[in-house]
Amino acid sequence: MYSRVGLVVNAKKTKVLPLAYNSDSYTHTFSVHGDVLQQVHEFTYLGSILRDDCSLDSEVEHRIKAASSAFGRLLHRVFINHNLTIPTKVAVYNRVARGSKFQDPTRPGPRKS
């Protein structure tokens, strides 16, 4: 069906993530044109980590590491920079730590001047 609209499935790049809600989940195999697709327990899709047990532990850990890395870069570039004024540092902190235009509406954001 997918070949009729010009799509080609690469079986070497395609992976299957079965949900592990019972022990029989891994007994099924999937194939495309006779090539068996690899089954995985975890993979990244659009920047989010998906797991077969629906656990968010890997995703949360990944996001915490990314935020820590971003704040580490800001520490050296902004907060320890003696050439920036305190109001500039506060403005950067408010924008980064307290949210952007896509923030949670129930959480107070930076004040508008």
The confidence score (pLDDT) of residue 20 equals 64
The confidence score (pLDDT) of residue 71 equals 82
pTM of the model as a whole: 0.49
The confidence score (pLDDT) of residue 69 equals 84
The confidence score (pLDDT) of residue 40 equals 84
The confidence score (pLDDT) of residue 56 equals 83
The residues, ordered by sequence, that sit 6+ positions from 109 with a Cβ below 8 Å of its Cβ are: 94, 98, 99, 103
Which residue numbers in the chain have pLDDT < 50?
Answer: 25, 103-106
The number of residues making up the chain comes to 113
Residue ranges per structural domain of the chain: 2-51, 57-97
Q: Rounded to the nearest 5°, which phi and psi values hold at 75?
A: -55, -50
